[in-house]
Amino acid sequence: MNIASLLQGLASLAWLLAIGALGFAVFNAARGRRFAGGAALLVGAMVAAVVLTIVAAGLVFIEPDERGVVISALDPKGYRDQALTPGLRWVIPFAERVQKYTISRQTYTMSATAAEGQVEADDSIRARTKDGQEVFVDASVIYAIDPDKVVALHITWQSRYQDEVIRPLSRGIIRDIASQYGVEEIVSTERVAMEQLITEELARKLADNDLELGDFVLRDIHFSDEYAAAVEQKQIAEQQAQQAALVVEQKKQEAEQARQVAQGQADAAVIAARGAAQARVIQAEAEAEALRLINESLKNNPDLLTYRYIEKLSPNVQVMYLPSNSPYLIPLPTAPAPTVASTTVVTSTTP
């Protein structure tokens, strides 16, 4: 409770006391009794009531988030040029009165949902895009009264500024700027740019009407049922096309993988064939070298072949009969003539 309210309460109490004293004095006078000190009490109560009433009528307390416009019957213009600032202020009782305005931020919401906005109905902004589509915009305007222009606002709009400034200006600006964009731009790439344009234009218009824009919030954008169905069908078609493209890409990857596997197998076969060919070449070269070495050995040792032939005969043969008039299968080394008979007999035990 501030001082002005307290004084008003005391003034009311003083008036009640004065009326009570007056009534008691009249009651005693009607019975022929004297009310000692009644006149003084009555006069004192009346004076206190009048003084407190005048003082209370002249005192005004302005809250920190308020400004007071003084409507004065003593000023030729009908008002004071300067608004009252926060604190306990004095005006001329009964000749001046104070109209208070809040300078704190306020929000005006226009929404399709009735419970969200100031209007208890569908209050979204209906607009046409440049390609002829119909959109519905939900928006909120956060604003405040310019503290330095409270008097001018009172003269021009008084308490009608919300319904006659905020609402029509916001709706008109939103419609005008939305008409500069296509519907797909509004809902995707250009939404931020559109919101920025609305904010700048709305701030300029509100400043011309002694108001300050705190922020503009583009809450939602929705469409007619027909367009929403068309958008949904388009999205479904795009999703199906994307799915088909994914399938094609998957098949391409599978084909490429199979090609890579086949290429790898072919490369492995080529490498194996090259390895086998090289092995054959090495083997042939080794065999040729071995034959060359054998040939060299035979040239230097002609009896070596006869020795190897005898060595390869069955190891179990210990006696061999040879006719004296039969030639040898291979030439034998020259040896001294035998001293035995013409037929050589070799005995042996054959297992």
What's the number of domains the chain is made of? 3
Asked if the structure places residue 283 within a domain, the reply is no
In 3D, which of 76, 78, 61, 69 has the Cα closest to residue 153?
69
Please report, as a single letter, which amino acid is at residue 199: T
174 or 225, which is more confident?
174
Instruction: Give the residue-averaged pLDDT of 262-283.
Output: 83
pLDDT score recorded for residue 216? 95
Least confident of 65-69, 211-215, 263-267: 263-267
Confidence label for 149 from pLDDT (cuts 50, 70 and 90): very high
Take residue 33 and report the two structure tokens written for it. Answer: 């009794």
Residue 137 half-sphere exposure toward CB, CA atoms < 13 A: 29
Please report, as a single letter, which amino acid is at residue 171: R
Instruction: Give the residue-averaged pLDDT of 213-230.
Output: 83
The answer, as to whether pTM is greater than 0.95, is no
Asked if the structure places residue 122 within a domain, the reply is yes
Confidence label for 341 from pLDDT (cuts 50, 70 and 90): very low
Residues 37, 69: one domain? yes
SS3 content of the chain, % helix, strand, coil (to 5): 55, 15, 30
223 neighbors 114 (Cβ within 8 angstroms): no
91 or 23, which is more confident?
91
Residues 127, 32: one domain? no
Residues 163, 151: one domain? yes
- What 174-177 contacts at long range (C-beta under 8 Å, 24+ apart), as own/partner pairs, is 174/125, 174/127, 174/137, 174/139, 174/198, 175/125, 175/126, 175/127, 175/128, 176/201, 177/201
Q: How would you class 157 by CB atoms within 10 Å of its CB: exposed for 0-12, middle for 13-18, buried for 19 or more?
A: middle
Residues 153, 127: one domain? yes
Asked if the structure places residue 282 within a domain, the reply is no
Range of 4-13, 176-185, 231-240 with top mean pLDDT:
176-185
Least confident of 124-128, 134-138, 296-300, 346-350: 346-350
Residues 78, 114: one domain? no
Instruction: Give the residue-averaged pLDDT of 220-246.
Output: 74
Confidence label for 316 from pLDDT (cuts 50, 70 and 90): low
Residues 163, 187: one domain? yes
pLDDT at 203 over 90: yes
Asked if the structure places residue 11 within a domain, the reply is yes
In whole angstroms, give the CA distance from residue 305 to residue 297. Answer: 10
Dihedral sign from CA coordinates of 48, 53, 58, 64: positive
303 or 172, which is more confident?
172
Asked if the structure places residue 341 within a domain, the reply is no
Asked if the structure places residue 322 within a domain, the reply is no
In whole angstroms, give the CA distance from residue 155 to residue 167. Answer: 19
pLDDT at 265 over 60: yes
pLDDT score recorded for residue 312? 66
Residues 92, 128: one domain? no
Q: Select from 182, 202, 223 the last residue of a domain.
A: 223
Asked if the structure places residue 147 within a domain, the reply is yes
Asked if the structure places residue 114 within a domain, the reply is yes
Residues 112, 210: one domain? yes
Dihedral sign from CA coordinates of 20, 21, 26, 30: positive
Residues 121, 19: one domain? no
Q: Select from 52, 78, 101 the last residue of a domain.
A: 101
pLDDT score recorded for residue 62? 92
Q: Cα–chain-centroid distance for residue 149?
A: 40
Residues 20, 111: one domain? no
Instruction: Give the residue-averaged pLDDT of 86-96.
Output: 89
| CA distances for 89 relative to 24, 114, 136, 337, angstroms | 38, 41, 48, 166
Q: Which domain holds residue 167?
A: 106-223
47 or 65, which is more confident?
65
88 neighbors 81 (Cβ within 8 angstroms): no
Range of 157-161, 324-328, 337-341 with top mean pLDDT:
157-161
Take residue 229 and report the two structure tokens written for it. Answer: 């169905």
pLDDT at 335 over 60: no
Place of tokens 């009555």: 42
